[in-house]
A = this chain, B = another copy of it.
Amino acid sequence: MNITDLISSIDLNQVGQEMRRLISRLYPICRSITGNGFRETLDIIKEYIPLEVHEVSTGTKVFDWTVPKEWNIKDAYIKNCKGERVVDFLQSNLHVVSYSVPVRKKMSLSELKGHLFTLTDHPDWIPYRTSYYKEDWGFCLSHNQFLALNDEEYEVCIDTSLEDGHLTYGEYCIQGTSEEEFLISCHACHPSLCNDNLSGMALATCLASSLMPLSLRYSYRFLFIPGTIGSITWLTLNEKKTSRIKHGLVVACVGDSGKSTYKKSRKGEAEIDKAVIHALKETGQPFEVIDFFPYGYDERQYCSPGFNLPVGCLMRTPHGRYPEYHTSADNLDFVKLEFLQNSFLKYLSVVNITENNKKYLNQNPKCEPQLGKRGLYEAIGGQKESAVSQFAMLWVLNLSDGHHSLLDIAERSSLRFEIIQNTADILARRHLLVEC
């Protein structure tokens, strides 16, 4: 079975349910860029795909960075003078600023306030904050919770550890015919946030498990890594391998109701850029293409000038463009089955294009070959309308000069890639085309 067969036979509803279920299981876990929450997450994903788990020691130099201490959390709360938990980590793991140092202290509201973060615009939502590379601590809470705090003494407890340990990441490579790779990378370091980026992790997992049994042209490498430091670490450890990366996509924010958005690779005209844009065009659904910019997700590392890999980011609404982004409102309700399915199908279409985007040489380049004698042409000529399939044959033959790929031909002819691909198959079987 190949990718084209898969697309025609896949039960999208089942895949969608599976993504939803995985997101629900991962949602309660308190992840950060290191620690047991990340390990627990990979353990669950391992139930779906045979992930290889890597542990990189604290203190390891990774380009300009250093693998940080490992962070783990048991509990955290703010108790009022009655001993009631007015802010409670057990209610939401967003309540604690990620990477907060251990604290156990009594303090006045005014002293505490410097460590509290709220969202005045959305008084019911808890913001998400981190302090990875500067030792600090804090609590996030809804603005309504904040307003209810009395001017009294509070007992603050953050039961965390920040110690030498490891940075953990998951990697899974499906071997294709070629050593050339298609990289699918997602950040897996966010705690209870669904669109950013449990949706990406679920899509990557189900994509991997769908591709696993297929006959594939490219090898597919899936990375589940902590944002920024994870891609920097992987690139440090795998610098030599990066030249194999022919195509790449960062998967993030794929479950919201917004239209699909493709952020191009830094190269801008890489095959992956053309393939994604063509796939989105073919859906007939609205979409947006934006040029590369050097902030966002891990594409900023893959596309740093020293690597400049052909890695784009295919998402729905980009980070920071929806109010729920990095708040407790990015929850299980925010991510919908239909949008996860829709995103998944688009990823499959992109894979289908890159898998099949070959160049052929017309074996009868001088004048058209006689299609009729091969049964490839309507016998009675002169009709005003000719079947699409005949136009496709003429396009493929005319442009199969060694310079145009099937994707180029699809673009040039305004015909669907699938039609061009099928046509090339038929013509190759009749020895009218040979793959370059």
Contacts and interface: CB of A to CB of B under 8 A. Distances in A.
B382 A133 contact: no
A305 interface: yes
A213 interface: no
Number of copies of this kind of chain in the complex: 3
Given A64-B364, A303-B398, 8 more contacts: A64-B369, A131-B379, A132-B381, A235-B367, A294-B394, A301-B368, A306-B365, A320-B385
A399 B301 contact: no
Contacts of A138: 380
A149 to B, nearest CB: 21
A228 B394 CA distance: 13
B305 A398 contact: yes
A305 B399 CA distance: 7
Given A63-B367, A231-B367, A366-B63, A304 B398 contact: yes
A120 B183 CA distance: 56
A362 B63 CA distance: 13
A334 interface: no
A382 B191 CA distance: 13
Interface residues of A, number: 64
A381 to B, nearest CB: 5
Interface of A: 62-65, 97, 127-134, 136, 138, 228, 231-232, 235-236, 239, 266, 293-295, 300-301, 303-308, 320, 325-326, 362, 364-370, 372-373, 379-386, 390-391, 394-395, 397-401, 413
B133 A365 contact: no
A229 B416 CA distance: 30
Contact of A130 (B131, B380, B384, B386): B380
A347 to B, nearest CB: 25
Contacts of A397: 294, 304-305
B367 A398 contact: no
A371 to B, nearest CB: 9
A128 B305 CA distance: 59
A386 B131 contact: no
B133 A370 contact: yes
Contacts of A364: 63-64, 306
A235 B382 contact: no
A413 B303 CA distance: 16
A150 to B, nearest CB: 26
16 contacts: A63-B364, A63-B367, A130-B382, A133-B372, A136-B380, A239-B366, A293-B413, A294-B368, A295-B386, A295-B394, A301-B367, A304-B397, A305-B362, A306-B367, A307-B366, A307-B367
A346 to B, nearest CB: 26
B305 A382 contact: no
A248 to B, nearest CB: 15
Contact of A384 (B64, B326, B366, B372): B326
Contacts of A382: 127-130, 326
- Name the 7 nearest CB pairs between A and B, nearest first: A306-B365, A306-B366, A294-B398, A134-B379, A305-B401, A294-B394, A64-B369
A173 to B, nearest CB: 21
